[in-house]
């Protein structure tokens, strides 16, 4: 039974990767069971053993995005104990994740994903709030060590942090990948860091 479960999970992961790839290239309108089946070399009936249809596959893609998003936080916390460095690394990981997979902004920012599925909208909201709470924990640690201003509310800092890469993701998506998210990171991080440290002069990176 264990082997069967593992094989089933491998197949599901393969299907979800195909779903993300199709959304990246064609958007949600290009996603259907037949297209996913062709992508991985299966007949459509084989996919129905794992998912009931397109909407279940979209939900599974959201779960993958959630694991990656929250997994990035756990990863940077293991990489370093320095709160500011954790935030810097986290920003880089998220921008890289979005840059490498156009499906993520296409799913997160698409009204089509939520229009007729209020539960899915709530699920994504919960995901974002969970992410923000993890960032708040990093901020509180920074306040405890004296690296981040103690007069700033951790929740406010976490939302500002989210604002560093969300607009970049939108611009990157709208420009079909032409917007330079790496340059955005290079320019935005020093400003944000200086602000939460309370420095009087905001250092701007050289071009």
Q: HEC profile for 3-51?
A: HHHHHHHHHHHHHHHHHHHHHHHHCHHHCCHHHHHHHHCCCHHHHCCCC
Do the beta carbons of residue 17 and residue 104 sit within 8 Å? Answer: no
**Per-residue pLDDT, 203:** 52
Q: Which of 103, 109, 102 is nearest to 124 (CA)?
A: 109
Give the chain's mean pLDDT.
Answer: 85
What pLDDT, on a 0 to 100 scale, did the predictor assign at position 84?
97
- Please give the angle made by the CA atoms of 7, 65 and 24, to the nearest 5 degrees: 95
More confident residue, 202 or 116: 116
Higher-confidence residue: 6 or 143?
143
Residue 46 has pLDDT above 60, yes or no: yes
Tell whether the model's pLDDT for residue 2 goes beyond 80.
no
pLDDT surpasses 50 at 202:
no
Structural domains in the chain, sorted by start: 54-197 (1.10.357.10)
pLDDT top residue among 200 and 128? 128
Is residue 205 predicted with pLDDT exceeding 70?
no
- Bigger pLDDT: 199 vs 189: 189
**pLDDT score at 1:** 45
74 vs 70, 78, 130, 137, 170, CA distance in Å? Answer: 7, 6, 12, 12, 25
- pLDDT score at 3: 57
Q: For residue range 162-182, what is the model confidence (pLDDT) as tens digits? A: 989 878 877 877 787 788 888
Residue 101 has pLDDT above 80, yes or no: no
């Amino acid at each position: 039974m264990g082997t069967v479960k593992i094989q089933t999970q491998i197949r599901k992961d393969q299907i979800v990767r195909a779903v993300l790839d199709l959304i990246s290239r064609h958007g949600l309108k290009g996603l259907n069971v037949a297209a996913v089946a062709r992508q991985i070399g299966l007949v459509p009936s084989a996919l129905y053993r794992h998912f009931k249809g397109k909407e279940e596959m979209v939900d599974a893609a959201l779960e993958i995005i959630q694991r990656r998003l929250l997994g990035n936080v756990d990863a940077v916390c293991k990489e370093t104990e320095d709160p500011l460095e954790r935030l810097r690394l986290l920003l880089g990981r998220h921008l890289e994740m979005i840059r490498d997979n156009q499906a993520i902004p296409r799913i997160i920012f698409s009204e089509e994903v939520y229009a007729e599925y209020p539960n899915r909208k709530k699920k994504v909201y919960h995901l974002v709030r969970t992410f923000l709470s993890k960032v708040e924990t990093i901020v509180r640690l920074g306040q405890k060590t004296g690296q981040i201003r103690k007069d700033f509310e951790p929740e406010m800092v976490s939302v500002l942090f989210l604002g560093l890469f969300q607009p970049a993701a939108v611009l990157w998506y709208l420009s079909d990948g032409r917007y330079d998210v790496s340059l955005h990171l290079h320019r935005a991080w020093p400003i944000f860091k200086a602000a939460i440290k309370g420095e009087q002069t905001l250092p701007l990176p050289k071009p």
